[in-house]
A and B are shown apart, each in its own frame.
Chain A
Amino acid sequence: MSRYLARRILGAIPLLLGIATLVFFVLAIAPGDPATYLIQPGMTAEVVARIRSNFGLDQPLLLRYVKWLGAMLTGDFGYSFSFGRPVLDVIRTFLPNTLLLSGCALVLSFVGGVVLGALQAARQYSKTDSVLSVVLLFFYSMPSFWLALMLMLVFSVFARSVWHWPFWLPVSGMTSMDYASLGLGGRILDRAWHLVLPTVSLTLVLTAGIARFMRSSMLEVVRQDYIRTARAKGLPERTVVFKHALRNALIPVITLAGLYIPLLFGGTVFIEYVFSWPGMGKAIVDAIVARDYPLVMATSFLFAAMVVVGNLLADVLYAVVDPRIRHG
């Protein structure tokens, strides 16, 4: 196992370097540069050239690449052009926010998706199955930003001014304006309160997909011979479903979980926009538009690393749950 791990990790290094190199040169080819982005009337060509040289962009491309690579290998990602602070500071500012939101959403949607999918498969073609299918399909096909706006409308606007509920949910931001003056308990509650709508918007869409996946995986498993054997030897249905079917049906879902891990890092841009959640997704998109090379490089490198790690994790978990792979 450790040999396998070592081989995979070593194999990832040239892959990551290759991705970083590719991103670097693709960015360099893209029209415009950070100085172009700042151009405004009144600016002379001299000023533009100055800004370019303040950014270090007057140097030859290859030299820039070598310098960037050297610095990166020592953990120095440079300064973000658009935030005016070290790239690592920028990531440190936004990453925890994204991890909190997408972490909550991922956990909830996997738990929800597995439970609902298993339930549907266990009662295939029942009323529960059809109703759940329709509902899940509805959420699955909703654009997440539209769903987010509708949730906002119902649980904040209508709840407050039309139906006069005793409570309503905050529509944007991570904390209230009086956050600093709250006690520890109050702060935790305030954060959780702000998490509800964005998490639910993300979760609904994700859950639907995972439940569909789980349902078909489960149906696949219940058709297997060993399930028939389990039933034939007179085991109670509950044991058959939960012990024999469910555990085996979870194996492909684990792969799915691995694929979702990069989401933890990138967040989801639309949800971040709608709920003004200061996370990585918006920061990355803004950085690309502004040609903020150092920030784009660092985030895409980390993103690629997350994909590699996610896949690796999925494979390892796979081996853990499936003895055939472990020993094969």
Chain B
Amino acid sequence: MVRRRRIWTRLGVLGLPAAIACGGREPVGADAFAGFCAEVRPRVTAYVERAAAEHSVPADPRYGGTVVVGTVADLPGGMNAAIVTSYTATQYQQFVSLMTLVRYDADLVPQPYLARSWEVNPDTTALTFHLRSDVYWHDGVRTDAHDVAFTYRTVTDPATGFPNPAYWDLYDRGPEGVEVVDDSTVTFHLRPHADFLDAWRATAILPEHLLGDVPPERLMQHPFNSECPVGNGPFVFVEHRPNERWVFEANPAFPAELGGRPFVDRLVHRVIPEQTTLLTELLTGGIQVYVGAQPDQAKQIQADPDVDLITFTHREVAYVAWNSRRPQLADRRVRTALTMGVDRRRIVQAVLGGYGQIANSTVTPTNWQYDPDAVPDTPYDPDGARALLKEAGWIDRDGDGVRENAAGQPLTITLKYNQGARQRQTIAELMQAQLADIGVDIRPRVVDATTLTAQLFTEAKDFDAVVLSWVMDFRLDDRDMFDSRRLSGDFALSGTRNPELDRMLDTLQTVVDRDAAKPLWDEYQRLLVEEQPYTFLYFVDRIAGVRKSVHDVRVDKRGEWVGVHDWWLDPSAR
């Protein structure tokens, strides 16, 4: 399953260093990797000096200056692509510090990047990449096929604990799955599946000469991650002060064919945990780019003549999962009525100030499968909802305003959300009010985030309903959520059983051709709407504020940092 967690919006706000970890089996002395940085740093400095001497800065007014980007969170897991798949850290790996084999264009069609080209055999079981030969790690060592094979072996080694093994679900995992043909050619073995290149767009390549000797279970503690990472991308790592900032500088030797040296001399990622402070810094010029602005801040950003507001549709979907193991939620008519009883348009207005759109399935507007006309909407219809509940046997028998079943049990549902998630709290409260109208007793309950995770994503499944949101991936795979053969799995929140849906989920993974897959995706979403395991609420727009002194900041569904190589700072603002 290929989707990243974005359950605890507020956790991001808290700046929680999420995806990393450590504390090996034995308490380890502070000096286990002590020499690493001291050894690596001088090599990087020497490489950058040499590269700067060999590649002079072109005579173009766009070169120079420092751009400061601000967000609420540090980059947990840093630049180690094998242990972190969180949104912002991945953006820095893909577009700033490291390189991926392929990258997407604006239409999400894979384009060459570290791989000059690739080919697939006719039955899609062998995928061969031909690498560029002019890409160097920032300590001067050339990036080659061995690095690619090493990265693959590492992320598919269970000991690493790579957070999203579903990327490689249909690849032959482990050492047998990869073959180094020569220094610049590498072949992977896989079973045919849809969007099989996506994993190579997502996962950046790591340096074997630096990490090859590290036991995979110790990778989470390695100084490479956030103390002295060595990349091969357009920017060279300079410094990281935890909870304060990351500093990168332009790589003078970045291949000319890929754009050469980036325009800005320095790129700084500042950690500012409070949104109000972030906005203030943006409006007073302390930062030039504010990533992840809140909907209620958009007006202020727009009102400032020196700042541009940038929004784009993100692949995040917010939803309420109904636990069908609970007797009152076992009937799909009840779940459908709950969706019909919720005015999602009002929720989008209240929670997102309109920066979002109504969702009916997991297929987000950023996915190629997205086609709202092909998916039936479940519009707001309180009367229809009442009729449906009545049909399912839920009638207000004692006149207290809450429906009961024949046994006299009231239709009471506890709706959980995590602490600190203001938007989810609003959602829960609005739903409580709206569903009270159709005789459903919703009881919002706030739970500490980690506790809630333990209640949801373990066998306990200790909840009736929960407000959540996922960041979906570009390659969709919903089997963990809706496949009834994975009911014991951690992510089968709803636990509905639908053999037709199961078959469809399998088929979807294996159809390589998009044209052939499209009608199947439409059919899948129709089945999902019928089953109503979730009430899908909305797709979120991401919002950013950019000072006009930074030119050519082009942002799209690939993320805020996609064009960072081409940003340039107005000479008057340097």
A contact residues vs B (CB 8 Å cutoff) = 30-48, 50-51, 53-56, 59, 67-68, 71, 76, 78-86, 88-90, 93-94, 149, 152-153, 156-157, 160-161, 168, 170-174, 177-178, 272-276, 278, 282-283, 285-286, 289-291, 293-294
Contacts and interface: CB of A to CB of B under 8 A. Distances in A.
Contacts of A157: 280, 283-284
B457 A81 contact: no
B163 A42 contact: yes
8 contacts: A30-B451, A42-B2, A55-B23, A79-B28, A83-B226, A152-B277, A171-B284, A171-B286
A155 B114 CA distance: 48
A291 B1 CA distance: 26
B243 interface: yes
Contact of A276 (B18, B68, B273): B273
Given A50-B159, A177-B268, A276-B270, A84 B225 contact: yes
Nearest to B157: A50
Interface string B242-255: 11110000000000
B27 A41 contact: no
A44 B17 contact: no
B474 interface: no
A25 B34 CA distance: 31
Contacts of A71: 27
A84 B77 contact: yes
A70 B449 CA distance: 31
Nearest to A294: B23
B30 A82 contact: no
B5 interface: yes
B489 A45 contact: yes
Given A31-B451, A278-B243, A283-B243, A149 B276 contact: yes
B22 A55 contact: yes
B373 interface: no
B417 to A, nearest CB: 15
Interface of B: 1-5, 11, 14-30, 66, 68, 76-78, 85, 158-167, 217-218, 220-223, 225-227, 241-245, 268, 270-274, 276-277, 280-281, 283-284, 286, 448-451, 453-455, 457-458, 470, 480-481, 489-491
Contacts of B28: 78-79, 86
A278 B242 contact: yes
Contacts of A32: 450-451, 453-454
A208 B519 CA distance: 69
A295 to B, nearest CB: 9
Nearest to B13: A273
A71 B26 CA distance: 9
A276 to B, nearest CB: 4
B167 A42 contact: yes
B92 to A, nearest CB: 16
B315 to A, nearest CB: 13
Most buried by A among B21, B226, B227, B284: B21
B7 to A, nearest CB: 8
Contacts of A273: 273-274, 277
A157 B281 CA distance: 9
Most buried by B among A44, A88, A153: A44
Contact of A43 (B20, B68, B244, B490): B490
Contacts of A274: 274, 276-277
Contacts of A84: 17, 20-22, 77-78, 220-222, 225-226
Contact of B1 (A41, A89, A276): A41
B241 A78 contact: no
A144 to B, nearest CB: 13
B18 A37 contact: yes
Contacts of B274: 273-274, 276
Contacts of B163: 38, 40, 42-43, 47
A216 to B, nearest CB: 36
B161 A177 contact: no
Contacts of A283: 243
Most buried by A among B17, B276, B454: B17
Nearest to B166: A42
Contacts of B29: 76, 86
Contact of A39 (B68, B245, B453): B453
A41 B451 contact: no
Contacts of B85: 40, 42
A298 B428 CA distance: 37
Given A79-B28, A171-B280, A273-B273, 8 more contacts: A37-B449, A42-B1, A43-B165, A47-B158, A55-B24, A83-B242, A272-B273, A274-B276
B23 A80 contact: yes
A42 B202 CA distance: 14
B244 A41 contact: no
A41 B18 contact: no
B394 to A, nearest CB: 32
